[in-house]
Amino acid sequence: MTESASVSLEGIVKRHGAVTVLHGVDLAIAPGEFFALLGPSGSGKTTTLRILAGLEPHDEGRVTMDGIDVTQRGPGDRDVAMVFQSYALYPHMSVYDNIAFPLRMVAMPRAEVDAAVRDAAVRVRIDHLLDRRPGQLSGGQQQRCALARAIVRKPRLFLLDEPLSNLDAKLRMETRVELRKLQRSLGVTTVYVTHDQEEAMTMADRIAVFLDGRIAQVGTPHEIFERPASTPVAAFIGSPPMNLLPGEVHRGRLSVAGTPLELARHPGPDGPVTVGVRPGALVLSDHGIPGQIYLVEDLGETSIVDVQVEGQLVKIRTPHRPGVHESEAVHLSCAGSAVHVFDRNSGLRR
């Protein structure tokens, strides 16, 4: 096993001409951690990863590994291995030679190369495919070949940019389990870029949510799901994401659509708020917020019920098909502990 690194980004600013794509990114990643950068397209994830790798210059801030400033170091001097979305395998080489390539570059003796290649191939379960060319592999096998080529060097930092995005849904789910196990067995610090929140939620020790070139929140998957720091994070996480409705705090009481909501805690100072409730926490009931059924979506195991509340659609997830019909008048209720309250103006959690 290799020694793994701690990594930090401090005040990273990146501009492309007049456009700022990273606005002061700060991150501290612990040795051995599986850390996900999660955010929508264009939010700055790949740029951040490339800056970590030393592949892309930045305008302000510094990058450290184990407390040492590596900002001026090139990718070859950072002891990192990166797997790109397009695996970038050499098509004319065998799988064996592809995996061996980084070791031959550093002139490792032949017998050591052979042992390392076979060990890496076994770990990702492609040891029976070593004589093939990449073109003779399935997408999932190519992906594992790219992983083997990255782990064979025993890097101290492993950077992965949407490595599973070319796989179909079933293979993606299987491979993410394998990848997580592989990372645990190697113990190597891993930064994993994805726009797929399920991937980030299931694999990562911690997640940084990227929105518009800024980190909106850092936390464990549980923290990010249970206590989103702001309405933009709340609106991004969950499938479907949290419902957000205008609400009011008046004399210490919270109400939505004219209906008082019971909270287990004090909702904070009087004024306009945004009230968040996850679809799975809402139930159709005979009391609560009034609305009208708009659509029932049957997803097989669960149903999503769209309810119109004061001109806005609210989504409810139910475990079984609800006995309601379009246009029917209903009420929505939820436990006080499931209600999130955000400041209306700043969007920050109260």
Ligand X SMILES: Nc1ncnc2c1ncn2[C@@H]1O[C@H](COP(=O)(O)OP(=O)(O)OP(=O)(O)O)[C@@H](O)[C@H]1O
Q: List interacting residues with ligand X (CB under 6 A).
A: 16, 19, 21, 39, 41-47, 195
Strands 303-309 and 157-161: unpaired
Which of Mg ion, ligand X, none binds 327 (CB below 5-8 Å, type-dependent)?
A: none
- Indicate the residue among 20 and 46 with the shorter CB distance to Mg ion: 46
Smallest gap from Cβ 17 to ligand X, in A, equals 7
Paired with 295 in beta bridges are 306
CB of 44 to ligand X, least distance (A): 4
Among the residue ranges 24-32, 44-52, 73-81, 178-186, the one whose residues contact Mg ion (CB under 5 A) = 44-52
Question: Which of Mg ion, ligand X, none sits in contact with 143, Cβ below 5 to 8 A by type?
Answer: none
Sheet arrangement for strand 283-285: 283-285, 329-333, 289-298, 303-309, 312-318
Residues with Cβ within 8 Å of 238's Cβ and at least 6 positions away in sequence, in order, are 197, 225, 278, 279
Burial class for 156, CB neighbours closer than 10 Å (0-12, 13-18, 19+): buried
String of DSSP letters for 88-149: ---TTS-HHHHHHHHHHHTT--HHHHHHHHHHHHHHTT-TT-TTS-GGGS-HHHHHHHHHHH
Nearest approach, Cβ of residue 234 and Mg ion (Å): 23
Q: Which does 141 bind (CB under 5 to 8 A by kind): Mg ion, ligand X, none?
A: none
- Applying CB under 5 A, which part among 10-18, 45-53, 57-65, 261-269 lies near Mg ion? 45-53
To Mg ion, the closest distance from the beta carbon of 162 in angstroms equals 6
311: three-class secondary structure by DSSP? coil
Instruction: Locate 126 and state its tokens.
Output: 């492609």
> Judged by CB, which is closer to Mg ion: 46, or 64?
46
Which of Mg ion, ligand X, none does residue 153 bind (CB under 5 to 8 Å by kind)?
none
For residue 164, the minimal CB distance to ligand X (Å) is 13
Which CB atom, from 40 or from 252, has the smaller least distance to ligand X?
A: 40
46 binds Mg ion (CB under 5 A): yes
CB of 326 to ligand X, least distance (A): 36
HSE, side-chain direction, 13 A CA sphere, residue 245: 28
Q: Between residues 71 and 165, which has the closer beta carbon with respect to Mg ion?
A: 165
Stretch of residues binding Mg ion (CB under 5 A), selected from 42-50, 89-97, 281-289, 312-320: 42-50
The smaller minimum CB distance to ligand X, of residues 131 and 198, is found at 198
In 3D, which of 91, 78, 95 has the Cα closest to residue 148?
Answer: 95
- The binder of 267, among Mg ion, ligand X, none, by C-beta within 5 to 8 A per type, is none
Q: Please give the single-letter amino acid code of residue 310.
A: E
Q: For tokens 């009391």, what's the residue?
A: 287
Q: Which is nearer to Mg ion, 83 or 99 (CB)?
A: 83
Contact criterion met (CB below 8 Å) for 128 and 145: no
Whole-number minimum distance, CB 167 to ligand X, in Å? 16
What is the nearest approach in angstroms of Mg ion to the Cβ of residue 143? 17
- Out of ligand X, Mg ion, none, what residue 195 binds, judged by CB under 5 to 8 A for its kind, is ligand X
Q: Cis link prior to 240 (omega < 30° from 0)? A: yes
Q: Which is nearer to ligand X, 44 or 238 (CB)?
A: 44
Distance between CA atoms of 319 and 273, rounded to whole angstroms? 30
Q: What three-state secondary structure class fits 51?
A: helix
The binding site for Mg ion (CB under 5 A) comprises 46
